[in-house]
Amino acid sequence: MDYLELARKRYSERRFSDKGVEPDKIAKILEAGRIAPTAHNLQPQKIYVIASEEAHAKLLTKTKMTYGAPLVFLVCYDNTISWKNTNDRCYENYDSGEVDATLAASSMMMEATDLGLSTLWARAFDSADMIEIFDLPENIVPVVLLSVGYPGPESRPSRLHDSRKPIDEIVVIK
Ligand SMILES: Cc1cc2nc3c(=O)[nH]c(=O)nc-3n(C[C@H](O)[C@H](O)[C@H](O)COP(=O)(O)O)c2cc1C
């Protein structure tokens, strides 16, 4: 499929089916996260796979932002690995970890879409909650909950999905 066609096909899923995601598809989604680009190729991304009933139950005590998805990835970065630049004024104490984790999660989201799956990117969670329920080490920083599954029978894009600014509002030619 043409990439733009794929990008247009993706929408935020908030009506997942409870059908599980096949292990070969999970492996492909994780591979997309593994090979994503990172600053200086330091690869700080750390991907927690929320697959067990116990882990889902824990997650549901803290956020409803998974909408019944059978599979959730908590994409994080390790801040002892991520690229920093604290000396150079043009970077202003820059830590590339969040960007690196975002690129990994974005690749995973699009791979899932290409595999015929639905996804939801969610940031409406308290990082401290994720650290507590999944017993994350102090160097692990949560960035996104990426829910993945098959669309449910009532699946449809939200009102916001087709609301995008025209190209001349977001592109500036100098
Ligand atoms: C950084 C980020 C955070 C988001 N957090 C949430 C969230 O917590 N809950 C939610 O339902 N959707 C969340 N979304 C999904 C957006 O609301 C959605 O992408 C946007 O409205 C456009 O709709 P579409 O994805 O269907 O095209 C988030 C998206 C991004 C990129």
Q: Which of 121, 162, 164 to mutate to test the pocket of ligand 1 (most atoms within 8 A of CB)?
A: 121
Ligand 1 atom nearest 157 alpha carbon: 26
List the domain range (segments joined by +) for residue 150: 3-170
**What is the Cα–Cα distance from 141 to 171, expressed in whole angstroms?**
32
**What is the Cα–Cα distance from 57 to 32, expressed in whole angstroms?**
27
Q: 0.85 exceeded by the pTM? A: yes
**What is the Cα–Cα distance from 116 to 6, expressed in whole angstroms?**
10
Q: How many other β-carbons are positioned within 10 Å of the β-carbon of residue 66?
A: 23
- The one-letter code for the residue type at 162 is D
Q: How far is the CA of 8 from the centre of ligand 1 (A)?
A: 15
Tens place of pLDDT for every residue, the chain, 174 residues? 899 999 999 999 999 999 999 999 999 999 999 999 999 999 999 999 998 999 999 999 999 999 999 999 999 999 999 999 877 777 778 999 999 999 999 999 999 999 999 999 999 999 999 999 999 999 999 999 999 999 999 999 999 999 999 999 999 999
pLDDT digits (tens, 9 = 90+) for 23-35: 999 999 999 999 9
CATH number for the domain harbouring residue 78: 3.40.109.10
- The one-letter code for the residue type at 167 is I
**What is the Cα–Cα distance from 94 to 170, expressed in whole angstroms?**
25
Ligand 1 atom nearest 67 alpha carbon: 11
Residues with CB under 6 A from ligand 1: 11-12, 65, 121-124, 157-158, 160-161
Q: How far is the CA of 147 from the centre of ligand 1 (A)?
A: 11
Ligand 1 atom nearest 158 alpha carbon: 26
Q: If you compute the radius of gyration of the chain from its CA atoms, what whole number of angstroms results?
A: 17
Indicate which residue's Cα is closest to atom 10 of ligand 1: 122
In total, how many domains does the chain have?
1
Q: Which of 123, 125, 145, 148 to mutate to test the pocket of ligand 1 (most atoms within 8 A of CB)?
A: 123
